[in-house]
A and B are shown apart, each in its own frame.
Chain A
Amino acid sequence: MIIDILSWICLVAGGALGIVGGIGIHRFPDFYSRLHAAGITDTFCATLILLGLGLQAGWSIAAFKLALIFMFLFFTSPTASHALANAALHSGLQPRLDGDEREGSS
């Protein structure tokens, strides 16, 4: 019962963070800052959802698999973000930095 409640709290909070990340992707001004919003979904949102599912699974093989998913996500998601950012910089996309004049969409 308590475990059920805890796992639901984790699942709902994780889902809410995913939505927040999605809103962030729409609200932030340029590509690089949108990466940060996606970072929320990558890290804490995924962690909470996996934790909630793990509580539902109990001590079983499914929990071990969830832990592995968590581990791989932790190693691969920063690599993917870095690859995206690096590719954007290499192809000449300039980040809009603080203090720049607000220009039209470019």
Chain B
Amino acid sequence: MKSFNFGVLLFLCWIFLSGHLEPLLLGLGVASVALTVFLSRRMNVIDHESYPLHLSSRFPGFFLYLFREIVKANIDVAKRILRWRGASVSPQMIQIPQSQETNLGAVIYANSITLTPGTVTISLSKDSLTVHALSKEAAGKLATGAMSKEISNRVFDQ
């Protein structure tokens, strides 16, 4: 069932990317999709994590939140860069607890932190994250764990 969904998604991608509806090209598309699905099945990569369709209806809300955070952080970092008297940075290395239960949640959390300018996840373990932050404010904001809570609420509905 999962492979079937995967195949349909791949085929839609094929149609939208090529834009041609001739039988020959559609036939080539079906062949390459079939080959891809076959290989993915053999490699065992079609599972809950590489292919989280069950969560896809919940992503838009989270992306909206993430996008707002990214815009805010961008403005902050751009201001620091353009400060006339030397760039005003106070780099920090902090450890923050990793409170997501699933691997997928942890990856989303770490990636969201890295996507927000001003904070980069340097290493990730089972229960903590090492983060390099550009400023005290960014580090302080991260230490409150607000983003982790948003992920739990918006993506996993806990």
Residues of A near any B CB (own CB < 8 A) = 17, 20-21, 23-24, 27-30, 32-33, 35-37, 39-40, 42-44, 61, 64-65, 68, 74-75, 77-79, 81-82, 85-86, 89, 95-98
A89 with B123: CB separation less than 8 A: yes
B87 with A27: CB separation less than 8 A: yes
A81 with B120: CB separation less than 8 A: yes
A35 to B17, CA, bound (A): 33
A44 with B93: CB separation less than 8 A: no
A32 with B87: CB separation less than 8 A: no
Residues of A within 8 A of B118 (CB): 36, 39
| B residues contacting the other copy or chain, number (CB 8 A) | 34
A41 to B116, CA, bound (A): 11
Minimum CB–CB distance for B124 against chain A, Å: 8
A8 to B90, CA, bound (A): 35
Residues of B near any A CB (own CB < 8 A) = 16-17, 19, 70-71, 74, 77-78, 80-82, 86-87, 89-93, 110-112, 114-123, 132, 134, 136
A17 with B78: CB separation less than 8 A: yes
- Subset of 10 A-B contacts with CB under 8 Å: A24-B77, A27-B86, A27-B87, A37-B81, A43-B117, A61-B19, A64-B17, A75-B111, A78-B112, A82-B122
Residue among A30, A74, A98 with most chain B CB within 10 A: A98
B93 with A97: CB separation less than 8 A: yes
Contact of B136 among A20, A29, A98 (CB under 8 A): A98
Nearest neighbor of B16 in chain A, beta-carbon distance: A64
